């Protein structure tokens, strides 16, 4: 294990190299480009175990990695914003074909107008393509999530999209720890597909289906997506045990006052600890839910609110698809208030997609939890603690009315 200080995109590229990927296809787009460049450097130096291919568009990128995955290869690509939107057609193909592609999406606003900075509109708009979605709040999570994604994708035969905020994480220099290759190989052995295409074997893939067969197949994908939750928990627990490095679970809670750590955390088995499950003086009254790099600012906001007499704790969502509804509900005590801040807009609905998911998750919880939310930080707008607290206080007034 060694300590690095590098960009989030470098952390990603280092993990991809260590994961022994068989096939990588890329097309550059800001702020993802340096991932592709770093992997190209590794390929030129002979440090990649697999093939590195440059193509003419993001549509071709996803077509290439999906086709390679169908032959049994472990595949990777990365994109951002309009590039992800251009892949949309083949995202459905990869998920419907049960192809365990792993892709990093470096979150960036979508046009119009053009904007190069972070928000989550690109990935949230792909919510219903059938991909699992992970969100990272640090360089360490970026590095670790690559291995977790392959572990889950190849067991469930469902593709995984890893998301993290453009420039805020992709280009910032922060410390993270890497793992020894033998540890990674122990956690992530070579892919052993249940089936694969081969020119000498014949066969067809994704052929035309009648209504009954099509419906059964799509319902199976939907059910298996939900059943990925315990697989993700187990993969997190195994990684934590193997590396000795504490891992955030599906939802991570900071302790009262915003200090994250071992307390309040939903771990590999998805069980929150005593502080987040029980009442008493240590119990927060207001919970602040977000995903991505905003989670760090939300910790600071929770600490400041607690100093101001509003006991608060931050909740960081790591897994967005499938949505960990039971885990979120378990973290919130009866009668508490949940404030959700999104970095996306759910058009036709007040607030963003995370607010919609949280409301749905808590609807039948029986806990009488008040909930409100809004969209902030769109297009990379700065989120100083003062702005967050102002918005949180406004939303608290909304819950009272």
Q: Where residue 259 falls among pLDDT bands split at 50, 70, 90?
A: very low
Percent of the chain with pLDDT over 90: 88
What's the whole-number mean pLDDT along residues 140-161? Answer: 98
Does some domain include residue 209? no
Q: Pick from 137, 165, 187: which residue ends a domain?
A: 187
pLDDT in tens, 126-141: 999 999 999 999 999 9
Do 274 and 373 lie in a common domain?
A: yes
**What's the pTM value of the predicted model, to 2 decimals?**
0.93
At 167 the pLDDT is 98
Do 30 and 163 lie in a common domain?
A: yes
Helix (H, G, I), strand (E, B) or coil at 230: helix
Does some domain include residue 216? no
At 205 the pLDDT is 77
pLDDT in tens, 273-316: 333 333 333 589 999 999 999 999 999 999 999 999 999 999 99
Helix (H, G, I), strand (E, B) or coil at 225: helix
Among the listed residues 125, 117, 119, the one whose alpha carbon sits nearest the alpha carbon of residue 91: 125
- Kindly tell me if the per-residue pLDDT of 363 is higher than 90: yes
Sign of CA dihedral 269, 272, 278, 280: positive
Among the listed residues 305, 294, 291, the one whose alpha carbon sits nearest the alpha carbon of residue 256: 305
Do 182 and 300 lie in a common domain?
A: no
The two three-digit tokens of residue 50, written as one number: 């697999």
Does some domain include residue 234? no
- Kindly tell me if the per-residue pLDDT of 57 is higher than 70: yes
* Total of domains in the chain: 2
At 282 the pLDDT is 54
At 201 the pLDDT is 82
Domain that holds residue 303: 251-400
Compute the mean pLDDT over every residue in the chain, rounded to the nearest whole number.
92
Q: Pick from 187, 203, 235: which residue ends a domain?
A: 187
Flag the least confident range among 124-138, 193-207, 226-240.
193-207
Do 343 and 255 lie in a common domain?
A: yes
What CATH number is given to the structural domain containing 318?
A: 3.40.50.920
Does some domain include residue 394? yes
pLDDT in tens, 162-174: 999 999 999 999 9
Do 31 and 164 lie in a common domain?
A: yes
Does some domain include residue 215? no
Q: Which residue shows structure tokens 């939310």?
A: 373
Do 87 and 178 lie in a common domain?
A: yes
Percent of the chain with pLDDT over 70: 93
At 265 the pLDDT is 38
Q: Pick from 187, 205, 232: which residue ends a domain?
A: 187
- Kindly tell me if the per-residue pLDDT of 237 is higher than 70: yes
CA distances from 23 to 41, 51, 93, 204 (A): 15, 5, 18, 22
Do 164 and 71 lie in a common domain?
A: yes
Helix (H, G, I), strand (E, B) or coil at 282: coil
Do 67 and 173 lie in a common domain?
A: yes
Does some domain include residue 40? yes
Q: What span, in angstroms and rounded, lies between the C-alpha atoms of 4 and 8?
A: 11
Do 146 and 289 lie in a common domain?
A: no
At 7 the pLDDT is 98
Q: Residue 183: which residues within 8 A CB-CB, separation 6 or more?
A: 1, 242, 243
Q: What span, in angstroms and rounded, lies between the C-alpha atoms of 297 and 118?
A: 15
Return the higher-pLDDT residue of 323 and 204.
323
The CA-based angle 67-93-57, given to 5 degrees, is 65
Does some domain include residue 214? no
Q: How many CB atoms lie within 10 A of CB 334?
A: 10
Do 31 and 180 lie in a common domain?
A: yes
Q: Where residue 255 falls among pLDDT bands split at 50, 70, 90?
A: low
Does some domain include residue 54? yes
The two three-digit tokens of residue 161, written as one number: 């999209």
Radius of gyration of the chain (CA): 21
Do 170 and 93 lie in a common domain?
A: yes
Return the higher-pLDDT residue of 203 and 63.
63
At 257 the pLDDT is 64
């Amino acid at each position: 294990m060694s300590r690095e200080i590098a960009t989030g995109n470098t952390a990603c590229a280092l993990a991809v190299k260590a994961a022994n990927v068989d096939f990588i296809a890329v097309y550059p787009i800001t702020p993802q480009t340096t991932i592709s460049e770093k992997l190209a450097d590794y390929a030129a130096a002979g440090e990649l175990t697999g093939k590195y291919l440059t193509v003419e568009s993001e549509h071709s990128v996803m077509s290439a990695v999906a086709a390679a995955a169908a032959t049994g290869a472990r595949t990777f690509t990365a994109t951002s914003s309009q590039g992800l939107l251009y892949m949309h057609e083949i995202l459905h193909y990869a998920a419907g074909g049960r192809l365990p592609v792993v892709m990093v999406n470096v979150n960036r606003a979508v046009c119009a107008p053009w904007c190069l900075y972070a928000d989550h509109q690109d990935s949230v708009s792909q919510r219903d393509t059938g991909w699992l979605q992970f969100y990272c709040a640090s360089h360490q999570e970026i590095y670790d999530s690559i291995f977790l994604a392959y572990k889950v994708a190849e067991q469930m035969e469902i593709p995984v999209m890893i998301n993290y905020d453009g420039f805020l994480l992709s280009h910032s220099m922060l410390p993270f720890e890497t793992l020894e290759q033998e540890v990674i190989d122990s956690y992530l052995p070579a892919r052993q597909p249940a089936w694969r295409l081969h020119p000498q074997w014949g066969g067809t893939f994704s052929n035309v289906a009648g209504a009954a067969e099509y419906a059964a197949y799509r319902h199976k994908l939907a059910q298996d997506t939900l059943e990925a939750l315990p697989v993700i928990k187990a993969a997190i627990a195994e990684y934590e045990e193997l590396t000795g490095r504490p891992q955030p679970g599906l939802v991570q809670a900071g302790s009262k006052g915003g200090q994250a750590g071992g307390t309040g955390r939903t771990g590999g088995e998805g069980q929150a600890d005593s502080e987040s499950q029980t009442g008493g003086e240590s119990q927060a009254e207001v919970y602040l839910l977000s995903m991505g790099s905003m989670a760090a600012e939300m910790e600071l906001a929770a600490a400041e609110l607690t100093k101001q007499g509003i006991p608060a704790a931050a909740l960081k969502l790591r897994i967005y698809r499938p949505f960990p509804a039971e885990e979120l509900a378990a973290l919130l005590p009866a009668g508490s208030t949940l404030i959700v801040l999104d970095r996306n807009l759910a058009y036709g609905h007040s607030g963003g997609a995370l607010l919609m998911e949280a409301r749905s998750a808590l609807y039948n919880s029986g806990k009488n939890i008040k909930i409100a939310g809004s969209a902030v930080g769109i297009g990379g707008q700065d989120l100083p603690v003062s702005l967050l607290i102002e918005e949180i206080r406004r939303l608290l007034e909304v819950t009272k009315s």
